[in-house]
């Protein structure tokens, strides 16, 4: 059943088109997702740590212990040691993880909204509208975006919300392309024609028949976008343009760690490990989901 299930979605039997197709696709996706148990478990752990962690930590992320500067792991009850201002690294790491994940999710949501609206519009209307809209995407694709994000951060100050928007506005292009391609191929399927023949309005067709089938590739791309966004944020923070003190993110922590690494290597190791784990978990899950939804790539 593993091979046949996703194909069902595209043979377009009108009876099973609306509900069961979506489900069988998702069943397969879920099955494959849980095969990547290690990735799912570590991601769940990271997310829970990011949500609950800062509350459970005995130290505040901005509490300075002037007498405990650069103490190594386990010293004075600091599990992962302290930084140059004597702040508990574990508490800062948990907060940094929370901030990075938030940036990842929110910026991806921004890119999702723009990308789906844009892509579905272009794909659905087709013709000249499609031509013009996708040409614009082509042009935007060849802009060196990291430069524009840097320019934006320089121009409008190091604003947290702007960071979300700027990164999200950069990442929607691929989403728009995927959604457009998918919409075009869906538009021509028999089950859409059957739905049209049955007298459904275009709104209902998009909602009940196109959207559920779009969700697959979109979800895959979302799981692959989040790590990309986290990376972009860390990159900016590393250059000193991202999240500002005393708030922190994984990128800021790594940047501080790199500065003090000769004296306190743990400040670089632990944030680096958490960063790598986060990216790895997302990438594994994204790849697994992509294999589930795109049967060609198995």
Partner 1 sequence: MLIFIARRIAFAIPTLLIVITLSFFLMRLAPGSPFQNGRRLTPEIERNIMAKYGMNRPLAAQYLGYLGGVAHGDLGPSLKYQDKSVSDIIGQSFLKSAMLGLTALVLAIAIGGTCGIAAALHQNGRADYIATLITTLGICIPTFVTAPLLVLIFAGWLGWLPTAGWGGPRNLVLPVLVLALPQIAIITRLIRAGMIEVLRSNFIRTARAKGLSQRRILLRHALPAAVLPLVSYLGPACASLLTGSLVVEQIFALPGLGKFFVTSALQRDYTIVMGTVILYSALILVLNLVSDLIYAVLDPRVRLT
How many chain residues bind partner 1 (CB under 8 A)? 33
236 vs 293, beta carbon nearer partner 1: 236
3-state percent helix, strand, coil for the chain, nearest multiple of 5: 80, 0, 20
255 sits near partner 1 (criterion: CB under 8 A): yes
Nearest-10 crossing angle of helices 266-293, 89-125:
30
- Cis check for the bond before 246: say yes or no (omega within 30 of 0): yes
165 vs 279, beta carbon nearer partner 1: 279
283 sits near partner 1 (criterion: CB under 8 A): yes
Instruction: Confirm if 166 and 149 have CB atoms less than 8 A apart.
Output: yes
Instruction: Confirm if 220 and 290 have CB atoms less than 8 A apart.
Output: yes
126 vs 265, beta carbon nearer partner 1: 265
Task: Give the footprint of partner 1 on residues 144-163 (CB under 8 A).
Answer: 144, 146-148, 150-152, 154-155
Nearest-10 crossing angle of helices 160-187, 145-156:
140
262 sits near partner 1 (criterion: CB under 8 A): yes
86 sits near partner 1 (criterion: CB under 8 A): no
279 sits near partner 1 (criterion: CB under 8 A): yes
Residue positions counted in the chain = 298
The three-state secondary structure class of 88 is: strand
- State both tokens at 40: 């799912």
Rounded to a whole number of angstroms, the minimum distance from the CB of residue 232 to partner 1 is 10
| Interface pattern 212-241 for partner 1 (x via CB under 8 A) | -------------------x--xx--xx--
DSSP assigned state of 295: G
21 vs 234, beta carbon nearer partner 1: 234
The three-state secondary structure class of 189 is: coil
143 sits near partner 1 (criterion: CB under 8 A): yes
Which residues, 6 or more positions from 192, have their beta carbon under 8 angstroms from its beta carbon? 12, 186, 205, 209, 210
Binds partner 1 by CB under 8 A, chosen from 72, 265, 294, 298: 265
Q: Supply angle C-alpha 289, 107, 236, rounded to 5.
A: 110
Residue with tokens 């790590």: 227
Rounded to a whole number of angstroms, the minimum distance from the CB of residue 111 to partner 1 is 18
114 vs 258, beta carbon nearer partner 1: 258
Rounded to a whole number of angstroms, the minimum distance from the CB of residue 252 to partner 1 is 11
268 sits near partner 1 (criterion: CB under 8 A): yes
3 sits near partner 1 (criterion: CB under 8 A): no
Q: Supply angle C-alpha 123, 127, 130, rounded to 5.
A: 45
Rounded to a whole number of angstroms, the minimum distance from the CB of residue 169 to partner 1 is 12
156 vs 202, beta carbon nearer partner 1: 156
Distance CA 102, CA 108 (A): 10
80 vs 254, beta carbon nearer partner 1: 254
Range in contact with partner 1 (rule: CB under 8 A) among 8-16, 25-33, 40-48, 136-144: 136-144
* Paired residues of 82 in beta bridges: 88
Binding residues (CB under 8 A) for partner 1: these are 138-139, 142-144, 146-148, 150-152, 154-155, 231, 234-235, 238-239, 251, 254-255, 257-258, 261-262, 265, 268, 272, 275-276, 279-280, 283
């Amino acid at each position: 059943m593993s091979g046949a299930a996703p194909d069902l979605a595209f043979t377009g039997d009108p009876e099973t088109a609306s509900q069961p197709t979506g489900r069988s696709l998702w069943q397969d996706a879920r099955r494959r997702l849980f095969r990547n148990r290690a990735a799912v478990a570590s991601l769940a752990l990271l997310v829970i740590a990011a949500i609950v962690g800062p509350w459970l930590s005995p130290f505040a992320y901005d509490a300075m212990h002037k007498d405990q500067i650069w103490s190594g792991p386990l010293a004075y009850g600091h599990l992962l040691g302290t930084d140059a201002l004597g702040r508990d690294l574990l508490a800062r790491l948990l907060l940094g993880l929370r901030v990075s994940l938030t940036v990842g999710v929110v910026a991806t949501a921004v890119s999702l909204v723009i990308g789906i609206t844009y892509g579905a519009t272009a794909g659905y209307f087709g013709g000249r509208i499609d031509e013009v809209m996708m040409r614009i995407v082509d042009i935007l694709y060849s802009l060196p975006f990291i430069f524009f994000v840097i320019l934006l951060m320089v121009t409008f100050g190091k604003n947290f919300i702007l960071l979300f928007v700027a990164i999200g506005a950069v990442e929607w292009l691929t989403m728009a392309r995927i959604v457009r391609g998918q919409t075009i191929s869906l538009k021509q399927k028999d089950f859409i024609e059957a739905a049209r023949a049955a007298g459904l309005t275009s709104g209902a067709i998009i909602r009940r028949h196109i959207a559920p089938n779009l969700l697959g590739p979109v979800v895959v791309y979302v799981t692959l976008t989040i790590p990309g966004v986290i990376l972009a944020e860390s990159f900016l923070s590393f250059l000193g343009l991202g999240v500002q003190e005393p708030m922190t993110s994984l990128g800021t922590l790594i940047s501080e760690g790199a500065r003090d690494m000769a004296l306190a290597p743990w400040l670089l190791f632990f944030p680096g490990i958490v960063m790598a784990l986060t990216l790895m978990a997302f990438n594994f899950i994204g790849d697994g989901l992509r294999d589930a939804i795109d049967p060609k790539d198995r």
